[in-house]
Amino acid sequence: MSTKITFTYPTAMALAAIGEGHRYGFDIMDATGLPDGTVYPILRRLEARGYLVGKWENVDVAFGEGRPARRYYELTRSGDEALHAALVKYPRLSELFPEAGRLAASI
């Protein structure tokens, strides 16, 4: 994995949304305003690079609520560092996602 972290603004937005507590695709889409064709590839790339860890929820719970199962994402330690770097690169994200900005400042 590269030590230099470079992200596009949409990727930084997705990281900030997850850092703010938005944990699954549709929630991240709502928080960022990004379409699914942008969010899901970002999530797959971030997970493949070790910035996120994803886990499927219990299918019975989802079906009991009448919806498909969700994949919940969580930042790893590398993801926390990437979030911090993204917020340094794009400081206005801290205004859109203030909780993520506070968390990243503590790293």
Cα 70 to Cα 7, 8, 25, 101: the distances in Å are 25, 25, 8, 26
Domain assignments of the chain as residue spans, ordered by start: 9-97
CA gap 31, 43 in Å, rounded: 14
The pTM for the full model equals: 0.88
Q: Would you say residue 81 has pLDDT above 90?
A: yes
- What mean pLDDT value characterizes the chain? 91
What was the pLDDT predicted at 77? 95
pLDDT in tens, 24-37: 999 999 999 999 99
* Tokens representing residue 26 in the block: 């549709």
First and final C-alpha spacing in the chain: 20
HSE on the CB side for 98, CA within 13 Å?
1
CA gap 38, 87 in Å, rounded: 19
To the nearest whole percent, how much of the chain has pLDDT over 90? Answer: 82
CATH topology classification for 9-97: Arc Repressor Mutant, subunit A (1.10.10)
CA gap 66, 44 in Å, rounded: 25
